[in-house]
Amino acid sequence: MFALRTVARAQVSSLRSASIVPAMTRGYAPDAKSEGATASSTGFKNREQAEEGAYARRQDAAKLAKLREALAKNQAEKDRLHAEVKELEAKQ
């Protein structure tokens, strides 16, 4: 009976020690940057900023083209109405 208790205690203690074993953790260099290797490379960063700038310029150019078109349309309508007013004033 004494032998069974000893074996049971040995099994329980071995299970406990197995559950306490720390998990593997990744080690980092002490001077590693927080943004990572890819994001810290200046070439990628510069290309990304250039692409974003080009996209913004294309969007702005499209908006300006639409606004210029609307302005030209409104200018033509204004000129037509102005001519109508002149014509009506001439009749009076």
Three-class SS of 1-55: CHHHHHHHHHHHHHHHHHHHCCCCCCCCCCCCCCCHHHHHCHHHHHHHHHHHHHH
**How much is the pLDDT for 42?**
75
Length of the chain: 92
Can you give the pTM of this predicted structure? 0.47
- Cβ neighbours of residue 45 closer than 8 Å, sequence gap 6 or more: 39
The chain-wide mean pLDDT, for the chain, equals: 78
- Show the low-confidence residues of the chain (pLDDT under 50): none
